[in-house]
Chain A
Amino acid sequence: MTSPRDSANRLAVDTRNEGPSGRRRSASAESRSPLSSGSSVNGASSNGNGVKPDAADNGNGSLLRRYPGLEQEAQRICLRDSQFDEEQVVRLLLQELHDRGFTDTFNLLQRESGFTLENEPIAQFRNSILAGEWAKVEDALSTIGIRTREDMNAALFLVKRQQFLELLEARKLKHALLILQNQLSTLTTDIQQLHRLSSLLMCPSAEDLRTAAYWDGSGGRSRFLVLESLQGYISPGTMVPVHRMETLFGQALAYQCEVCKYHVRPANQGLYVDHTCPTSVFPQELQFNLKGHQDEVWYVAFSPDGRYLASGSRDKTCIIWSMDDFSIAHRLTGHEDEVAYIAWSPNSKYIVSASSDRTLRLWDVEAGANLQLFTGHDETVTSCKWLGTNDRFISGGLDHKIIIWNTNGAIIKQISSPRVHDLAVSADCSLLLVADEKTDIHAYDLATLTFMYSLNEPTEVMSMALSADARHCITGLRNGELHMWDLDARARVREFSGHAQGQYVIRCTFAGLDDRLVATGSEDGLLFVWNRNTGQLLARLRGHTKTINVCTWSDQAAALATASDDKTICIWPAFHGAPSHRSDPKAGPADSNEPEEISDDEEEEEEEDDDDDKSMGSAARSSAASLDMAF
């Protein structure tokens, strides 16, 4: 083949001679090769340490070394030169075989390939740790090849700490104390750790020791964990990191998920096929159009378990819809004015609705009953969120107040704040984001309700959403832009545009698995969905005839839901397979809600775009037409 390959192979072959692992070269290379006819090929003699540079000119250097008669067989057998070092690949295979218990194959592979997983000293080191023979371990550590002094001290500290804990467990307190004083204290400068360890001396029993130190005992996995942490100090060539092949598989899968454009479905296709979410899985077909409200619907939210959808409307009621049969489970009346926000409790049993009648109400979902009324706000309550547990939630209003409530009606805490337009709470309840009436977003530490920092926008913030990992938030602005902020860097990282937004509140949300998508409604009745990482517009879904006020996504229900001024709610499910038939006609409204997806992708096979665009004649066409030109 080509000459650079030869030299590369030659180099690879040469360095392998000094490999750290015990590479045993069999003296009888010829007898090992099944493909050889017994004679030497290419005139190269095969001695025990056979390095045959000229055999490398086929690009199969290592294989030809082992099977000298290869060129004739190369047509028959599908062999190729891999970009990965053979020793590394084989040792990973050996590790997998060993971990899975295939000892015969393990030994056979070691013999046949000439590589071993671990040489003697390492194997003994591993066994000593797992057996708890600490003297041997200490000796072995010095010969094992740890590079720096600090690493050696750190490794020794780990070993000694395990020994210390095991001695305490066996109630050999005097010995343990000696170790602590003479050895542990010299090995680390972390005074707090030393104090913690010495306090463990006080533990009255082994049981207490285990709980106090978060340690599962000498009989548990702790020794294995020590081994795992020691691997960080030993060069990976000497001792292959545990479960290395699985780690690599996991990384490959994570990468596939990362580049998956739509990503609404978890990766369950196994190892043979790359994970992708095909277009057919993306929510693009309207499954159900829910009618039941008598006026504009201003908020929808899925329950955390995905079985219900709650909606709040200008008609002063909330409706709980069952996602099993898309029927109305309960109609919740009681508010005296419009309902603009709803929050589900984490156990999917209660909802809290916030209304412009200055109150919030707590409802039981099973019974459909009003459990509690919360008064305390002097103006419209604009937003509410639960605080991780099922008995506390936070609300913000236009009266400069943020209040933390207990579900029994009592006020737990109250602070004064800018007028609140929207609230967001991080999943671990440490961060509170408040969008105020002007152009700022304020971040509060939720535990103490103290102000931390502000993010500034050029125009009014109409809506805000926080990602599940609380590292990004998106804000919808009055001028029709959607900004994505990185909260660690406190900087804007991406902008999405194309939708129409003016003075009315159009809510935005993260959607898809891992918050891969960003979705927002628009005043022309279309739902816009972008890929959050690439910023590419994935779809503009038509299903409503008027402004879409809110959109939301649920992993459990695997669907997008949107609510609009046309008094209806649309459900867009992510199918798990071929797109199913449209739902029964009785569910559709009088005017046409043909779910034509307008996709801009050149590489997508969505052909419907142009023809359908011309055939649709609603008033929203003018704005949609100007959008099409961008694609």
Chain B
Amino acid sequence: MGYMHQTFLDGRGIFACRNCHTHFALRGSIESRYTGQFGRAILFTDIVNVRAGDENKRQMTTGVHIVRDIACMRCNKYVGWTYVKAYEPEQKFKEGKFILERELIYDVTREYTRDPVHDWVG
């Protein structure tokens, strides 16, 4: 959807695409963690370098939401989704925030001694 310049984040705890290492978010913008439909997921308040797709109405464990899938802007791999509208009042706080699937991202600033897939960043 148009040309976007790639953004680079600074600081400790930068989450990036596991495929192409494009930065997505800082650890400071983590809000909470969940188990999504495909495994572990993290809710972020601010995200960069992603492109959002079309809106879908989806039934999730927490209720019905309107979401848009997001993909890495460089390699076009699916990485998560963003909440456009939440129907349950308790879920309203998620609107405008982003979920990234834990399996598809990793922390580039951290030195890994073991396989990053099994390394959980606290």
Partner-B contacts on A (CB < 8 A):
296, 298, 314, 337, 340, 356, 379-380, 382, 398, 419, 421, 437, 462, 503-506, 523, 547, 549, 565
Contacts and interface: CB of A to CB of B under 8 A. Distances in A.
A506 to B, nearest CB: 7
Interface string B1-31: 1111111100000000000000000000000
A296 B6 CA distance: 17
Given A296-B2, A398-B6, A462-B5, 8 more contacts: A356-B74, A380-B6, A419-B8, A504-B1, A505-B2, A547-B1, A547-B2, A549-B2
A523 B1 CA distance: 10
A505 B6 contact: no
Nearest to A298: B3
Contacts of A462: 5
Contacts of B2: 296, 504-506, 523, 547, 549, 565
Contacts of B4: 503-505
Contacts of B74: 337, 356
Contacts of B5: 382, 398, 421, 437, 462, 505
Nearest to A521: B2
Contacts of B3: 296, 298, 314, 340, 504-505, 549
Which applies to chain A's interface (DSSP): helix, strand, loop or mixed? Answer: loop
Contacts of B8: 398, 419, 437
A505 B74 CA distance: 15
Interface of B: 1-8, 74
23 contacts: A296-B1, A296-B2, A356-B6, A356-B74, A380-B6, A398-B6, A398-B8, A419-B8, A437-B5, A437-B8, A462-B5, A503-B4, A504-B1, A504-B2, A504-B3, A505-B2, A505-B5, A506-B2, A547-B1, A547-B2, A549-B2, A549-B3, A565-B2
Contacts of B1: 296, 504, 547, 565
Contacts of A549: 2-3
A298 B4 CA distance: 10
Contacts of A382: 5
A416 to B, nearest CB: 15
Nearest to B7: A437
A419 B7 CA distance: 10
A364 B5 CA distance: 28
Of B3, B5, B6, which is in contact with the most chain A CB atoms at under 10 Å from its CB?
A: B3
Contacts of A314: 3
Contacts of A419: 8
A419 B1 CA distance: 23
A419 B6 CA distance: 10
B62 to A, nearest CB: 29
Contacts of A565: 1-2
Contacts of A421: 5
A554 B6 CA distance: 30
A504 B1 CA distance: 8
Contacts of B6: 356, 379-380, 398
A278 B19 CA distance: 55
A505 B4 CA distance: 6
Nearest to A297: B3
A523 B8 CA distance: 24
Contacts of B7: 437
Contacts of A503: 4
Nearest to A382: B5
B107 to A, nearest CB: 19
A298 B2 CA distance: 7
B5 to A, nearest CB: 5
Contacts of A437: 5, 7-8
A425 to B, nearest CB: 20
B17 to A, nearest CB: 14
Nearest to A341: B3
Nearest to B74: A356
Contacts of A505: 2-5
A558 B104 CA distance: 50
